[in-house]
Amino acid sequence: MFFRIGTRGSKLALWQAEWVAQRLQEAGASIEIVTMETKGDKILNKSLSKIGSKGVFTEELETALREQTIDIAVHSAKDMQSSLDEDLMLLAFSEREQMHDVVVSFNQHFKLEKADSTFLVGTSSTRRVAMLKRYYPAVKSVDSRGNLQTRMKKLEQGEYDALILAYAGVKRMGYDKHICQHLPLDTFTPAVGQGSVAIESCTNLSQDKQAFIREALNHTDTETCLLAERSFLKRLQGGCSIPVFGLATLEADMVRLVGGIISLDGKKHVQIMETLPAQDATRLGELVAEKLLAQGGEEILQEIRKKL
């Protein structure tokens, strides 16, 4: 069986695509990797919230899926928009890496709680900016775009004192020696899908290929958690520009979901936690979103959309 795998061209994206390729080859498939640039890779002088969050890292790959120049697209699950068009689907999710955020610096003594307004922390995430304002208000954040290597180079050149990044990408690229702080999940709760790789295809991909991919790549427990998280995000109509966070965990045959939203200035914060049986993961996401909206989340969401 032959697969053409579409991916962004950054080193981290290629790591993910090559990991997928290796798994498929081990299962007996032959592979071709096709690289391309997305809008999010090309426009680096604007924040993600300014260029629009829908499909910023996926649109070109999805066009290639429809044109059948690739069979599957490999994405960071956290980059996937909450709603896909009817002709597209997520076929599989890789087993999740540790999903927390980390602080990376060439100064191993750097700690957010010891920093003041003279320290610059780079991030391109509105969620992380809002959380910094809430938990570390003395710290000044600055927009940091580009692939991981570009941002690490800017860090080395002194444009920032530190970066806040997802642990998964830092580890996969071998920068974990520069981690100076691991941020706790109960305060810096991650973006939906963080730590997992998502496999996207068109719905008309042959059933044989669909089954092959799921058998070779899908991690059932991770998929269950991400179904809950993505359902939560979809109900909120959240994207890269909205500081929404969500993390589902499995406890025996139950799924626990913590979902929340934080205002851009960090002053307002609503968080909901609920648990349902694993087979109700999608319903769990909707339930947490509905409770969140009813308990002040709707007001925060409207305020955010007026400002973006």
Which active-site residues does the annotation give? 79
- Do the beta carbons of residue 280 and residue 240 sit within 8 Å? no
Phi and psi (nearest 5°) for 92? -160, 155
How far CA 64 is from CA of 7, 9, 30, 173, in Å, comes to 10, 14, 19, 27
- What is the distance of C-alpha 183 from the center of its chain? 16
Q: Where are the alpha helices (DSSP H) in the chain?
A: 11-26, 39-42, 48-51, 59-67, 126-135, 148-156, 167-172, 207-217, 220-236, 281-292, 298-307
Polymer length of the chain: 308
- Output the CA torsion sign for 222, 73, 260, 105: positive
How far CA 96 is from CA of 58, 107, 197, 216, in Å, comes to 20, 29, 8, 15
How far apart CA 113 and CA 124 sit, in angstroms, is 20
Return the structure tokens found at 286. 């909707």
Residue closest to 181 by CA, chosen among 126, 121, 259: 121
